[in-house]
Structure 1
Amino acid sequence: MRQALIQTDLIRVLGLWRARRGWLLGGAAMAVLAALAGVALLALAGRGVSEGLRSGALTGAAVGSLLLLRPLMALRPGARYLERLVTHSATFRALADTRIWFFRRLAERLPAGLGLRGAGDLLGRLVSDVEALDGLYLRALVPGAAAIAVVLAVSVLLGAAGPALAAIVALPLALALLLPPLLAPGAARAAARVAKARGGLRAAAVDPLLGLEDTLAANAEPRAAARLEEAGRALAETQDRLSRRSAWGGASGGLLAQAALLGALGYGLAGGPGAVGATIIGLFLALAAGEVLAALPRAGTALAAAGASARRLFDAADTPAPVAEPASPAEAPRGHALRAEGVRFAWAPDRAPVFEDLSFELPEGGRLALLGPSGAGKSTLASLLLKLAAPQEGRLTLGGVDLAALPADAVRARIACLTQDARLFDDSIAANLRLAAPEADDAALWRALERAGVADVVRALPEGLGTRCGEGGARFSGGQGRRLALARALLAPADILILDEPGAGLDPSAERAFLETLESATEGRSVILIAHRLLGVERPTRILRLVGGRALPAMG
């Protein structure tokens, strides 16, 4: 069962690499050419030596064989160089495609955040597990193609010299070809443990660092270090077991290569003087094949490691999307009036509903304030409106069209959100702003910064729009970072803007100033303001309070 699953996963990986098949096939072809050049080189050398021994002098055949060595001696290293160049280039491109595919799958399936999946674990899958897939091509498929070509060439060449010699030499070489599939099942179990332990180590290292302030404040660094040490020890133990299996495979391949050499030698000893020439050619060809087959037994371990890593990738990538895309999407509506009709929603079947019978309207250009304490469902409503989640009952409509009938990207093009923990990435201010509008020119960026009330701050910076924000926007104060995030939201060509606790984390004066900026900056758009309370500067056209899963008119 496990072996069948590995095969399915590896075939699926190859399917992800279809766009790079030209590079992949080219690299395999170069590997075959280099291997066959080595066989031809030693075959001609063996023929030259055998002719010299048979006649006691350099005959025309011997001289001809030796003369052909010159171009082959130049061809072989050239082919080897091109093989490394093409195979590694093909691998880098294929792995880059895999990372992009995996990232997109995660974006589709974890739109509301990592949730129960740890950042360290997903980082391990995106980096380590994707990198482990290079073994499928570089250490399994490419050596396998070269080995098959070499065994066939040796069989053909020795068959011309003597069928018995061909059978004696080619049989152990052919058995070496069977080592990878024979060794793969056992190695797969060990490789799965290695992949799991590697993910555990990554999580043990990354998770405490992501919450370093809390770790230090709780004096938890000794416990974090102990957890990291334990994870490292577990990984070392699993890697040791996998290495032992790989070593056994290498030893088995070496024994079979030696068996081919001994078979050729035994043929010569038993065949009498006439068999000396064929024996020498057989020895040389066995040496050539042994060099190519030396790495082949480890291909089983490489296949197992790649299969285990592929399983971890697909396990995360195949998580069902929280909101399915419509099979036949509706046409985008002209208007953008928003309406909730009897919405019922719970995050899980065993959890209490967040909304029981939620209904409200937001006309075009309206400004709706939704108030309520923590846990009332304010942020949940933002997730529903952005199609990060879907109601179990009732419906949400945009311009009269059910959101369920619209693609998620179409909805998010019409509805933008400024979250309470809007993140600035460790990139330039311009790059952070252009997340909302990749084609926006500098003039548009400055207009958004002006409307957000932070343009003067950016102008005062030596590098202006090119200033890096630092991880999490560490370069700026909380109020400045929030205004930069607002400028990014304002760049989006959305008709509706959701402001989820926009003043969270700011001191009272900064919060009031920011909310006053919002009033003017969002003019001309429909606005949903989600907050615990109002300060009196927001001026909404309607105020609702979330109580018991319903939206009720605010009193007083």
Structure 2
Amino acid sequence: VRAVARTASANTLLVSLGSHLPLLVLLSAAPRLLDRGALSVGELLGATSYLVSGVAPALRSLVAVLGSWGVQLATVLRRLSRSTPARQDTPGEARGPGGLTRTPRSFDISLTDVSYAYGPEAAPVIDKLSLDIPAGSHLTVVGPSGAGKSTLTTLLAGLAGPAGGRLTLGGVPAAEVDRAWLRRAVTLIPQEAYVFTGTVRDNLRYLCPQARDADLLASATAVGARALVDRLGGLDAPLGLDGPPLSCGERQLVALARAHVSPASIVLLDEACCHLDPAAEERAERAFMERGTTLVVVAHRISSALRAPRVLVLDGDRTAVGTHARLLEKSPLYADLAGHWVSAGIP
């Protein structure tokens, strides 16, 4: 905001000097120029009109555009200069002591007083959250909009590091986990699923390039995407820009099959089934549960919470963890959410 204010002030000064000042000089010198015959009345009117209707708007537009680009460029360069010397990894990818990374021996996840905010002056989206997610367990996350559900999955995926507290995978602090291991072990599927230009085979084995066709078809069948694959024309059929348009639900099925065939042992579904019907959503979730995967589901239906042995209710520093029945008793927010889902007819 301060940068924009400074730029706006500079813009006003430059426009005044570039257009208003020449006009004032011309008008001040006009009587002498007219008396000497160096300038006719028509020429004076033409010059005045040119400065007012031509030079001033053009200069104003030029300065505004350059000023806007300048602010954006300066901001990007400043952020790069702050981040590049401090670390060579992406956010949350700081190296361990001595620059070495470590490989966890298990897929257990533990959060102790973890906090995260989207800026130094912003209120924490996640505030002192403590939670254990044992390997192979199933957790559903619920809460109001803006409660930090997607932020939590971002932290668990290692795409950002906590601002406070401790997050460990297999006992290893998240900042010290080997990044190659993390990318193989954890898969995050967002609400807006990605489909790449290429064949169906290319899309399904994106996270597991060595997967056989039989594995791809088995995973597609498990999550309920086999009918879609057959309708498209099989594994050699084109997708993306070269293929037919897909609905949001069809793109989610492709992403779910891609995650299922991957070697990931921790799968994070951030409303990744929101465009599927309840039966298709249940089939996809059960496919990952039967695979023995650690499954964290950001829920948008009460049925997802009912299927999970544990439910996490996120609401700032007022979090609660427990079964569906227990949370109905001890968490007013969860009771309200469940009541809203039921009254709205969301199965």
TM-score range, shorter chain: 0.5 to 0.7
Gaps of 5+ in 2: 1-57, 67-73, 85-89, 329-347
Name the CA shift for 1:515/1:461 in 2 (closer, same or farther; >3 Å). Answer: closer
From 250, 265, 276, the equivalent of 1:495 is: 265
From 243, 267, 277, the equivalent of 1:511 is: 277
Q: In structure 1, what is the equivalent of residue 171 of structure 2?
A: 400
Deviation at 1:551, TM superposition (A): 3.1
Deviation at 1:436, TM superposition (A): 0.8
Deviation at 1:460, TM superposition (A): 3.2
Question: In 2, distance between residues paired with 1:356 and 1:456?
Answer: 43
Query: Alpha-carbon deviations, 1:499-547, whole Å to 9, x = none?
Result: 101233x2xxx33022211232102111111124422586111011001
Question: In 1, distance between residues paired with 2:113 and 2:255?
Answer: 33
2:109–2:170 contact (8 Å) kept in structure 1 = yes
Question: In 1, distance between residues paired with 2:242 and 2:314?
Answer: 31
Q: In structure 1, what is the equivalent of residue 123 of structure 2?
A: 352
Q: In structure 1, what is the equivalent of residue 253 of structure 2?
A: 483
From 139, 151, 160, the equivalent of 1:389 is: 160
Q: In structure 2, what is the equivalent of residue 543 of structure 1?
A: 311
1:371–1:533 contact (8 Å) kept in structure 2 = no
1:370–1:543 contact (8 Å) kept in structure 2 = yes
1:355–1:550 contact (8 Å) kept in structure 2 = no
Percent identity at matched positions? Answer: 35
SS in 2 for 1:388: coil
Return 531-540 or 521-530, whichever deviates more.
531-540
Question: In 2, distance between residues paired with 1:445 and 1:347?
Answer: 38
Question: In 2, distance between residues paired with 1:312 and 1:356?
Answer: 29
Name the CA shift for 1:313/1:549 in 2 (closer, same or farther; >3 Å). Answer: closer
Please, what TM-score do these two structures have when normalized by structure 2? 0.64
SS in 1 for 2:313: strand
1:359–1:551 contact (8 Å) kept in structure 2 = no
Q: In structure 1, what is the equivalent of residue 27 of structure 2?
A: none
Q: In structure 2, what is the equivalent of residue 83 of structure 1?
A: none
- The aligned amino acid for 2:200 is I
Question: In 1, distance between residues paired with 2:235 and 2:177?
Answer: 35
Query: Alpha-carbon deviations, 1:81-129, whole Å to 9, x = none?
Result: xxxxxxxxxxxxxxxxxxxxxxxxxxxxxxxxxxxxxxxxxxxxxxxxx
CA RMSD after TM alignment? 3.0
Question: In 2, distance between residues paired with 1:350 and 1:473?
Answer: 46
Which structure is higher in helix share?
1
Q: In structure 2, what is the equivalent of residue 446 of structure 1?
A: 217
Question: In 2, distance between residues paired with 1:443 and 1:548?
Answer: 45
Question: In 2, distance between residues paired with 1:553 and 1:489?
Answer: 27
- The aligned amino acid for 1:548 is G
Please, what TM-score do these two structures have when normalized by structure 1? 0.41
Question: In 1, distance between residues paired with 2:196 and 2:296?
Answer: 25
Structure 1 position 331 matched with structure 2 position 102: yes
From 434, 445, 456, the equivalent of 2:205 is: 434
Question: In 2, distance between residues paired with 1:408 and 1:518?
Answer: 27
Question: In 1, distance between residues paired with 2:262 and 2:141?
Answer: 22
1:483–1:514 contact (8 Å) kept in structure 2 = no
Query: Alpha-carbon deviations, 1:163-204, whole Å to 9, x = none?
Result: xxxxxxxxxxxxxxxxxxxxxxxxxxxxxxxxxxxxxxxxxx
Question: In 1, distance between residues paired with 2:321 and 2:309?
Answer: 12
Structure 1 position 340 matched with structure 2 position 111: yes
Deviation at 1:474, TM superposition (A): 5.8
Name the CA shift for 1:402/1:313 in 2 (closer, same or farther; >3 Å). Answer: closer
From 298, 304, 309, the equivalent of 1:530 is: 298
2:110–2:132 contact (8 Å) kept in structure 1 = yes
Name the CA shift for 1:356/1:366 in 2 (closer, same or farther; >3 Å). Answer: same
2:192–2:248 contact (8 Å) kept in structure 1 = no
1:515–1:537 contact (8 Å) kept in structure 2 = no
Q: Which has the larger radius of gyration?
A: 1
Name the CA shift for 1:364/1:432 in 2 (closer, same or farther; >3 Å). Answer: same
SS in 2 for 1:460: helix
Deviation at 1:437, TM superposition (A): 0.8
Deviation at 1:312, TM superposition (A): 12
Gaps of 5+ in 1: 1-229, 239-310
SS in 1 for 2:140: strand
Deviation at 1:473, TM superposition (A): 8.0
Alignment map for 1:166-315 (pairs within 5 Å): none
Aligned residues: 246
- The aligned amino acid for 1:466 is D
SS in 2 for 1:528: strand
Question: In 2, distance between residues paired with 1:421 and 1:406?
Answer: 27
1:419–1:501 contact (8 Å) kept in structure 2 = yes
2:93–2:179 contact (8 Å) kept in structure 1 = no
Query: Alpha-carbon deviations, 1:237-286, whole Å to 9, x = none?
Result: x9xxxxxxxxxxxxxxxxxxxxxxxxxxxxxxxxxxxxxxxxxxxxxxxx
Name the CA shift for 1:498/1:538 in 2 (closer, same or farther; >3 Å). Answer: farther
Deviation at 1:472, TM superposition (A): 11
Name the CA shift for 1:370/1:472 in 2 (closer, same or farther; >3 Å). Answer: farther
Which structure is higher in strand share?
2
Q: In structure 2, what is the equivalent of residue 420 of structure 1?
A: 191
Q: In structure 1, what is the equivalent of residue 141 of structure 2?
A: 370
1:516–1:537 contact (8 Å) kept in structure 2 = no
Deviation at 1:419, TM superposition (A): 1.1
Question: In 2, distance between residues paired with 1:383 and 1:461?
Answer: 32
